[in-house]
Structure 1
Amino acid sequence: MISQECRAGAVAVNAGNVVYEILGEKGDLIALTPGGRFGKDVPGLRPLAEALTEGGYRVLLWDRPNCGASDVQFYGHSESHMRAETLRGLLSALGFEQCILAGGSGGARDSMLTAMLYPELVTKLVVWNIVGGVYGMYQLGAFYVLPSIQAVRFSGIEGLLKVPEWRDRIAENPNNRQRFLALDAAAFLTVMMRWLNAFVPKPGQTIPGVDDEMFNRIKVPTLIIRGGENDWDHPKRTSLEVSCLIKGAELIDPPWPEDAWERAAEDRAAGKVAHFNLFDTWVQAAPAILDFLDS
């Protein structure tokens, strides 16, 4: 196992540095993953991590590729496929043979896909705010992929340097500027079109870019916190369908208000981020997660 002295830093995985941090002194490891392209320091994530460490676990927080201070990377069937491969490499580099996977929103998808592709790594799985549905999938493609495609089509690779999201990645990690400039425009667009296609709703794909039959590979105990009643991004229906696809999965009601995500999104749109962040309610899931993990 990793020594206690090496509790934070960066390791190279698939030719890109991945920034990580480990909380807690002992216990089984939980790899905790947030949503979107948010990094490990996004408000709301650390309180949940700290609550889990107080429950007797260690928690791995990590900046996925294209998040936080890690290096940008662009390959794979989808961005979640790339992240799953990266997580496997990160765990191996840190000396962990197995762990518990936990994540919300995009982190739920990343965690489920990791459990599908690398089942030998996973002992238990906990997911919430699962993205699905026509609106949720198109929204992700439009928000995370289309701006990059349009920037390169109209301004070449240098156009990526003007995309607000990528400006943030360069600000947190100046090495990313050269990583962008070194990209081949045609090859980058090929990857982006593949990533965009993953977000096009298709029969037999309850979550973006993943065939439903892949859920048969998840055989570990699984806890699903269902989506809110009126959550357009993480529909209640999607979490119910996923609970049917993972044999033996336990489905529970959300410990936060049914409209928590919608209200947080409204506050964020109104510029009230300091008042209410998207992941502020996640710590409320700690008791349920700990009960499940300890059972």
Structure 2
Amino acid sequence: MFAVQIDRHGGPEVLRVREAAAPVAGAGHVLVATVASTINPVDWKTRAWDVGPAFPMTLGWDLAGVVVATESADFAVGDRVVAMSAQLATGLGTWAELVALPTTLVAHAPASVPLVEAAALPLAGVTALQALGPLDLVAGQRLLVSGALGAVGRTAVALALHRGVVVDGLVSRAEHLAPAAALGLSAVASAVSDLKSASYDAVLDTAGVDVSAALAPDGRYVSVADAPLPEIPRAEKSYVQESRADLAELVRLVDAGVVRPHIAHHFSVRQVRRATELFERGGLTGKVALHF
């Protein structure tokens, strides 16, 4: 089989599509033939920074594919599945033709979208779902999401709107205002100063920008970005955790029409360097998919 691996840290030039030993699905695991994955910020950070498991390192967190071997009663050969693997910690990268993962990381894929689209769901979706938890919002409360058109941001917007929360958004570019508004936001702006109100019950920062000025005095602030937290009360980081239950809930919401994974660009996995270069230029309004 083939996999996308690196032998050293660096730029996109260190990415190699090469032959690798095929994994085996042992007890409690499934072997999945990969249909698609996507590129996430953690992928290029792992590649570029001096972090991660030993070399040669297979990258990738997202997975959508078809079960080809299993010893689990929860899955059968031929099942369409999605999974999120914390590659940085476990070394179980998903940018490979075949991936063996514990069943605790795997959920049945949405029936309503193609597997290529479903590949955009796991990491961004679970991140958004888990980040909203500490905010503890109820219907009628007001939420501001920075990076509202990004993969995490747009999922958080959909989840919050489904709960009856009033959601406003911040985007980085003027040309993103209209597509962000189409998500159902009550208001959208490219700067905090452009917002009509600055007294939100909660702020979810997905873009690494300090938008604490928009928060009500007793509001809660959660960030999923690498940037330091603002020095305000009730501010915290949300670090994504692998969760089959959360992934299954997102699948349910996709099939219910609440959440829709969004792919902006499609590449063959053999074009992974080109896809990575596009991703790292930023300004995208959806995920970059890698087809296997």
Which TM-score bucket, shorter chain as reference?
A: under 0.3
Q: Please give the TM-score of this superposition, normalised by the length of structure 1.
A: 0.26
Q: Which has the larger strand fraction?
A: 2
Task: Pick the structure with greater CA Rg.
Answer: 2
